[in-house]
Amino acid sequence: MTDTPIRLLLADDHPVVRAGLRAVLETEPGLLVVAEAATAEEAVARAARGDIDVVLMDLRFGPGMGGAQATALITAQPRAPRVVIVTTYDSDADTLPAIEAGATGYLLKDAPPEDLAAAVRTAAAGRTALAPVVADRLMHRLRTPATTLTRRETEVLTLVAEGLSNQAIAHRLHLTEGTVKSHLARVYTKLAVDSRTSAVATATTLGLIRR
């Protein structure tokens, strides 16, 4: 057992959220908030200084880098700190990129304070800490791989939900229009639907794309 505190970096673009996290975590023994960051870029730079054990990272900031990209950059560093995502978003479009980027934990902002502190300690120890809804979704993906969407299919369908045409999606994702159509065809098959509207509605209901 060591008396060395777990050193934390809070990365969120909302000062009120950072203040709330600090208030919760600083009441916990063995946890020490040593820095805050209002942008993902600031979080990456601050984490690189080598004196952070766990980063609590939001997923969406303002213009610029997002939380998943920042997580990938942080976890690629030598002696990298652990990253725990703390967000309001729990769709596959949010959780999967963050976990693929190297996040050790994923919590929702409505989690009880004791769950937040436990997740920080779990992550600091190198173990995974996932919100129940996120863990359930990942288990579902493992059990039913044929009916879950790939990351690219999720990206395409998310843009469909935003109202983009196949041509616009192709331009946004640097794909051919034919490739976009192929991805949508596979989405229709997996979700057992026959239209863009139905695909978006079903995927939203299943939590596969952002609401």
pLDDT tens digit string along 131-164? 888 887 777 666 666 567 888 898 999 999 999 9
In a domain, 210, yes or no: no
122 with 191, same domain: the answer is no
Of 141, 157, 172, the last residue of a domain is 141
- Per-residue pLDDT tens for 30-52? 999 999 999 999 999 999 999 99
Q: Residues 42, 135: one domain?
A: yes
- Pair 125, 96 in one domain: yes
- Asked whether residue 40 is assigned to any structural domain, the reply reads yes
Give the pLDDT score at 49: 93
| 164 and 135 co-located in one domain | no
Q: Is residue 211 part of a domain?
A: no
Domain that holds residue 70: 6-141
Tokens of 66: 């997002």
152: which 2 tokens?
A: 């690219």
Q: Does residue 97 share a domain with residue 29?
A: yes
Q: Between residues 149 and 181, which one has the greater pLDDT?
A: 181
Tell whether 37 and 124 lie within a shared domain: yes
